[in-house]
Amino acid sequence: MIEFKNVSKWYGEYLALDNVNARVEKGEVLVVCGPSGSGKSTLIRTINRLEPIQKGQIIVDGVDVYQCGSIDEMRSHIGFVFQQFNLFPHMTVLENLMMAPVLLKRMSKHDAREHGMALLERVGMGHKADVYPTQLSGGQQQRVAIARALALKPRIMLFDEPTSALDPEMVNEVLMVMKSLAADGMTMVCVTHEMNFAREVADTVWFMDAGRIVETAPPKQFFETPQTDRAKKFLSDLRH
């Protein structure tokens, strides 16, 4: 469970998050959407403390992320998927997946390899285990990145615009993987513009504008009867 309590963040003078109060339940699939600059990426990055906040608290499974003893321990329970994949280019696909379990969980190389292969199979990338990330397409890289984020068996997965850097024909393969994760009951926070994904998979949609969550609703309700003018305009812009 993730809870935001009076969270505010500034970049210098600029207010990026404006007193956010919200919660995400265990097993919930949340889609965060909104116009660019609305603070959605900032919001998701605060959950594992990639961005410092100046006010408020973020509680993940009962622990305050900004006060906890070991942020590294905390982060190992939270998977993060980046827009730019950020695979490690000097390691093979399988080594990308093996590193964290070997270093952080003292898993033997042999076990880490099997564990990594199982994850690669799960995202349909088992046949590319031994190649380097730069030899993969964007969609393939992102699937590997998801597998890597799963390698430590996180309780929560965060997706920061996972399909925005992809060519259109590769979006689907990534969304399929995300859908299968959602079907397994993973707690997921997804910043995305894929409204079909939101419609099909999300339990809840947050619509953000100017650093605030201005609408919280189940997807059906959000898409059919948005409450605010800002959300109505956003949705109509998306359709055109």
Partner 1 sequence: MWEILSDNWLLLLVGQWPHGPVGGLVATVGLAIVSLLLAFPLGIMLALGRISAHKIFFWPATAVVYVVRGLPLIMFIFWVYFFLPLLIGNSVSGVVTMVAALALYEGAYLAEIIRSGIEALPRGQMEAGRSLGLSHMRTMRKIILPQALYNTIPSMLSQFISTVKETSLGYVISVHELTFAAAQINNMLLTKPFQVFALLALTYFTLNLILTGVVKLVEKHMGSGQAVTAA
Chain positions contacting partner 1, by CB under 8 A? 48, 50, 72-78, 80, 82, 84-90, 99-100, 103-104, 132-135, 141, 148-149, 151-152
Number of H helices, E strands in the chain: 9, 10
Burial classification of residue 10, based on how many CB atoms lie within 10 Å of its CB (0-12 exposed, 13-18 middle, 19 or more buried): middle
The residue among 80 and 234 lying less far from partner 1, judged by its C-beta, is 80
In DSSP terms, 207 is beta-bridged to 33, 215
Contact (Cβ atoms closer than 8 angstroms) between residue 1 and residue 23: yes
- Chain position carrying tokens 């994760």: 181
Q: Which is nearer to partner 1, 149 or 205 (CB)?
A: 149
Are the C-beta atoms of 191 and 157 separated by less than 8 Å? no
* Smallest gap from residue 2 Cβ to partner 1 (A): 15
Task: Give the sign of the dihedral formed by CA 204, CA 207, CA 211, CA 213.
Answer: negative
The residue (of 74 and 177) whose beta carbon lies closer to partner 1 is 74
Q: Which is nearer to partner 1, 40 or 148 (CB)?
A: 148
Least distance from partner 1 to the Cβ atom of residue 214, Å: 28
The enclosing H or E element of 74 equals helix 71-75
Q: Who's near 22: CB < 8 A, 6+ residues apart?
A: 3, 4, 206, 213, 216
Least distance CB 74 / partner 1 (angstroms): 8
CB of 171 to partner 1, least distance (A): 19
Cβ nearer to partner 1, comparing 97 with 231: 97
The distance of closest approach from Cβ of residue 88 to partner 1 in the complex, given in angstroms and rounded to an integer, is 6
Beta carbon nearer to partner 1, 5 or 77 = 77
Structure tokens at 141: 């890289």
Place of tokens 């919200």: 22
Q: ∠ CA(224), CA(179), CA(201), 5° rounding?
A: 20
- The CB-of-189 to partner 1 minimum distance in angstroms stands at 13
